[in-house]
Structure 1
Amino acid sequence: MDEERPRSNTVTTTTSSYSENFSSSASFSYDRNFIWTAPGLFLLAEIIFGLLVWALIAGSEYFHFPAFGWVMFIAVFSWVLTVFFLLIYITRAYTKITKVPWTLVGLCFNGSAFVLYLVAAIVDASSISKDIPRRHNYNSWTASAFFAFLVTGCYAASTYFSFQAWRTRS
């Protein structure tokens, strides 16, 4: 006759929760000290001065002058991407998205934004004329040209800091 083996009372179970894995890998930390670093301060300056550039132009009748349309495009496009980078750096999302070479991306963005903003600032300043019938446009465009050159300087400094970060990580 077959003897019955004694049954084991030990039961081993394993559970895996998708939400636990997702929440631990997708949590972003807040880096409040980034704002007080030199790259953080230049990023904030780019956002503030860039907002002034396109707000001053958008408040005028820029659509009658194609040159100001170009300046608006560069100002708004750069401003949106700069806000995106600020969010990436403040939330430290670059530490979670490791497939992207963030130092190289930052260097390419800041370098191209510097060149495009330099061209836009020159176009902005050279398109201003006293012969404009409405004095409001003249004052707005003059102020926008001033702030465009400030933003250009900020992007130049950010390009320098991005180059330093890229060089040390390469």
Structure 2
Amino acid sequence: MSSSTSSSSLPSGLAVLTTFPDVLFIPEIIIGGLVWILVASSRVPLPMLQGWVMFVSVFCFVMSISLLCLYFCGVHGGGSGWVTLDAVCQVTAALFYLSAAVLEAFATYASAEMFPGQLYRENIAAVVFAFVATLVYVIHEVFSLLRWKSS
């Protein structure tokens, strides 16, 4: 794999799947989709908290798919404005997912006695995948910021 931190441009076409930070779109989409599914299928003891988690997972899912499709199509053309947009999107997603993961963990902890068994395990899985998604977004964020700094 080639590292895109050495160049300041974004890849286009299938090169998106061969550059390090951009290949992270795939796990972001998969893990974010799992968070979305797990939260949607669980009971909602605290609607405001889990509503935020649903918003974050859907928003980041759509944002990641949109950016991936735009990079595949080569819409960005090589402008440095797209490098800035990529960095801003990754920072936003990482902060959103961190807040969502913490709130989902709190909602799961608060509902431990109300929903024992399978529903509680779904919430625990949602917490684990939310923190994994946060980690993937933070890694992507770091390398996007390095690319932005070098542009």
For normalisation by structure 1, the TM-score amounts to: 0.74
2:130 is equivalent to residue 123 of structure 1: no
1:166 equivalent in structure 2:
148
Q: As a proportion of its length, which structure holds more helix? A: 2
Aligned with 1:127: secondary structure?
helix
Three-state SS of the structure 1 residue aligned to 2:113 is coil
Amino acid at match of 2:95: V
Q: Using the alignment, how far apart are the partners of 1:54 and 1:118 within structure 2?
A: 15
- Count of residue pairs the alignment pairs up: 138
The equivalences for 1:4-19 within 5 A come to none
Q: What are the ranges of 5 or more consecutive residues in structure 2 without an aligned counterpart? A: 1-11
Matched, 1:88 2:70: yes
The Cα of 1:137 is off from its aligned counterpart by 2.2
Map of 2:15 onto structure 1: 33
Identify if the C-alpha distance between structure 1 residues 117 and 32 changes in structure 2 by more than 3 Å, giving closer, same or farther: same
Counterpart for residue 157 of structure 1: 139
The percent identity for this pair of structures is 29
Q: Structure 1 residue 130: deviation in Å?
A: 2.0
- CA contact 1:124–1:144 (8 Å) conserved in 2: yes
The one-letter code sitting in structure 1 at the alignment partner of 2:49 is A
For residues 25-55 of structure 1, the C-alpha deviation after alignment (integer angstroms, 9 at most, x for no partner) is xxxxx62131132123211111000000011
Of residues 52, 67, 80, the one that matches 1:70 is 52
- Unaligned runs of 5+ residues in structure 1 are 1-29
Higher relative contact order (CA 8 A, sep 6+): 2
Once residues 52 and 133 of structure 1 are traced to their aligned partners in structure 2, the CA distance between those partners, rounded to angstroms, is 20
Q: Distance in 1 between matches of 2:73 and 2:121?
A: 38
The answer (yes or no) to whether the contact 1:63–1:69 under 8 Å persists in 2 is no
The structure having more radius of gyration, on CA atoms, is 1
CA deviations 1:95-125 (Å, max 9, x no partner) are 17x5x71111111111011111101101111
Root-mean-square deviation over aligned CA pairs? 1.8
TM-score with structure 2 setting the length: 0.83
